[in-house]
């Protein structure tokens, strides 16, 4: 699940660092309604384990989702954090397109101190392997951010990580299965 619409989304600002995103830039007003709507009819059971990025917007989304399902279990894991956008931190979100253009040419793109798509995928794969050992018998909902989730979905579809902008991007509050 991608986090709900955030204050940073509304302001058009890139907030990707743990330092900037953990304390501020939570959910925008009305986001909880969209989160609940996404979960309605999702088929997720009450014993779903929610794993969340430590960034405030994702954590608030996970708490809202767990509360809606009466699931109660939200675990925080920094491997689900937003992709770090380096020199573009705190700048206009139009700069995402500059990064994504470079990504399309290079899965190891780290121009402007940006975390590369391949590095994001490696930390997410590490997370999934770790979690699968302990929770393979339960439904798991990962609450994260647009780029990490798109990168993971691209990989799961058998595409190269540099193609992560060639799939339909997840909208805020969207829930999408990783494995069918």
Listed by start position, the domains of the chain span 7-163
Q: What is the pLDDT of residues 65-90, one digit of tens each?
A: 999 999 978 999 999 999 999 999 99
Output DSSP code: residue 54.
S
- Whole-model pTM? 0.95
Q: In sequence order, what E strands does 16-133 have? A: 49-52, 74-76
How far apart CA 114 and CA 85 sit, in angstroms, is: 5
How far apart CA 47 and CA 72 sit, in angstroms, is: 8
Residues of the chain with pLDDT under 50: none
3-state secondary structure of 19: helix
**Is residue 131 a contact partner of residue 178, using CB atoms and an 8 Å limit?**
no
CATH entry 3.40.50.2000 includes domain 7-163:
no
**Which pair of tokens denotes residue 22?**
């953990």
For residue 180, what pLDDT is reported?
Answer: 57
Beta-bridged to residue 76, according to DSSP, are 52
């Amino acid at each position: 699940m991608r986090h709900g619409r955030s204050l940073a989304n509304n302001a058009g600002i890139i907030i990707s660092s743990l330092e900037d995103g953990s304390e501020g830039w939570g959910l925008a007003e009305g986001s909880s309604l969209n989160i609940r709507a996404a979960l309605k009819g999702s088929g997720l059971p009450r014993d779903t384990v929610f794993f969340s990025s430590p960034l405030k917007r994702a954590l608030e989304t996970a708490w809202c989702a767990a509360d809606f399902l009466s699931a109660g279990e939200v675990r925080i894991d920094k491997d689900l954090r937003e992709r770090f956008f380096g020199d573009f931190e705190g700048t206009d979100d139009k700069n995402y397109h500059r990064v994504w253009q470079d990504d399309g040419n290079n899965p190891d793109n780290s121009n402007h101190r940006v975390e590369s798509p391949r590095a994001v995928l490696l930390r997410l794969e590490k997370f999934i392997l770790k979690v699968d050992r302990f929770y393979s018998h339960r439904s798991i909902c990962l609450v994260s951010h647009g780029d990490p989730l798109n990168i993971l979905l691209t990989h799961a579809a058998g595409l190269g990580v540099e193609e992560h902008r060639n799939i339909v991007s997840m909208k805020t509050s969207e829930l999408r299965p990783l494995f069918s």
